[in-house]
Structure 1
Amino acid sequence: MRRSARLLTGAVLAVGGAGLAAGIAYGVHGQVLELVPATAVPGDQVTAKATVCRDGKAAAGDASAVGAGAFTLAPAIGGGEVAGRFRVPESAQPGTYEIVAQCPSGGRQVAGDLVVSLTPPPSPEPTHSGGGLPHGSVKTGVGGAFGTDPVQTAAGLAALAVAAAGGTWLLHRRARGDGII
């Protein structure tokens, strides 16, 4: 029994050690190279950010997989994060490319995936940039149930009030045992 426990413990430690070594070789667990935008078209500029170097030094970026070559990730002011930029070459083909950043001291490395597409990703709806309050309707798919006509609004509220009063009266009769005919 004791021999089985030792073998099992040894196997668990060996697997855990191999996983830890792989994590150190490829990157620190839970840390990735953040790419903005994560989906780009040829000619786009991409920003890479990470917390790979804890000593406040610059990191070396490698975007040669997509054809952009080396770039530098400089330390941000007041934090352990580094950031740098590279441009996706016009000759880049659609696909997913691994972009890597490595800290020169200690060799810590992180990676992120960049998706290159020939069509740009859909952009979000334009935001309200004018002064004052926003105006217009919200497209919810419900339709134009509420308008700005005060007569129709009052009539709708009156119908709701009558329905609520009728329901309350029926529930009250049922609770008293009068029954409903």
Structure 2
Amino acid sequence: MRRTVRLLTGTALAVVAAGLLTAPAYGTGTGTGTGGLGVHPSSVVPGGQVTVGTAACGDGGTAAGDAGAVGAGSFTLAPGSHGRDAAGRFRVPAGAQPGTYEIVATCAGEDRRVTGDLVVTLTAPREQVHPRGSVKTGVGGALGPDPVQTAAGVAALAVAAAGGTWLLHRRARGDGI
């Protein structure tokens, strides 16, 4: 048993280590990691506004953005209020076709190029809706949600079960009914 546990534990650790070694070291459109271009929202309808940001250009760095693939042209990324990540905005043209487009930013003064993906869809992404209230399924107590009535129903069932058990016991002994 211990040998199996050790084998499974060793295998799990090897899989995790392999995953960490092969994970990419840059972002691809979902965050503003140290080497990628974050695109927010990552999915947008034509005419929507997109914000991009990166920390790849260093503290206080600027970048030239290019959203020409989607038809939005160029834009500038400048340090935010905290002076760290460079950020910029552009608007997706109203005539943009659905698809995935690469957005590019090139850091000023260094030829570092970072990219991120933007998905253009015809329908706006919807927020997750969580259900509220009760659901009328038809399943439930016939007596209703009143705890007193529910207790009375449970007591009636208990008495019926006890009486049935007593009658079966008498019949098995041959006492008759």
TM-score, structure 1 normalization: 0.55
Of residues 129, 134, 137, the one that matches 2:133 is 137
Alignment partner of 1:111 is 2:120: no
Map 1:27-66; keep pairs closer than 5 Å: 31-66=35-70
Amino acid at match of 1:150: P
How far off is 1:36 after superposition? 1.0
RMSD of aligned C-alpha atoms? 3.5
Map 1:18-97; keep pairs closer than 5 Å: 31-97=35-101
Distance (whole Å) between structure 1 residues aligned to residue 106 and residue 152 of structure 2 = 68
How far off is 1:90 after superposition? 0.8
Distance (whole Å) between structure 2 residues aligned to residue 81 and residue 42 of structure 1 = 26
**1:32-62 superposed Cα distances (whole Å, 9 cap, x missing partner):** 2111111111000011111121141221111
**1:3-23 superposed Cα distances (whole Å, 9 cap, x missing partner):** xxxxxxxxxxxxxxxxxxxx9
How far off is 1:69 after superposition? 0.4
List, as ranges, runs of 4+ consecutive aligned residues in structure 1 with deviation greater than 4 Å.
142-148, 152-156
Ranges in structure 1 where 5+ consecutive residues have no aligned partner: 1-22, 24-28, 128-135, 163-181
Is the 1:53–1:80 Cα contact (8 Å) retained in structure 2?
no
Is the 1:60–1:102 Cα contact (8 Å) retained in structure 2?
yes
Is the 2:77–2:86 Cα contact (8 Å) retained in structure 1?
yes
Ranges in structure 2 where 5+ consecutive residues have no aligned partner: 1-24, 26-32, 159-177
Is the 1:99–1:111 Cα contact (8 Å) retained in structure 2?
yes
- Partner SS state of residue 70, structure 2: coil
Max Rg structure: 2
Taking structure 1 as reference, are residues 150 and 96 closer, same or farther at Cα in structure 2, changes over 3 Å only? same
TM-score, structure 2 normalization: 0.56
Distance (whole Å) between structure 2 residues aligned to residue 143 and residue 47 of structure 1 = 49
Structure 2 counterpart of 1:101: 105
Amino acid at match of 2:81: I
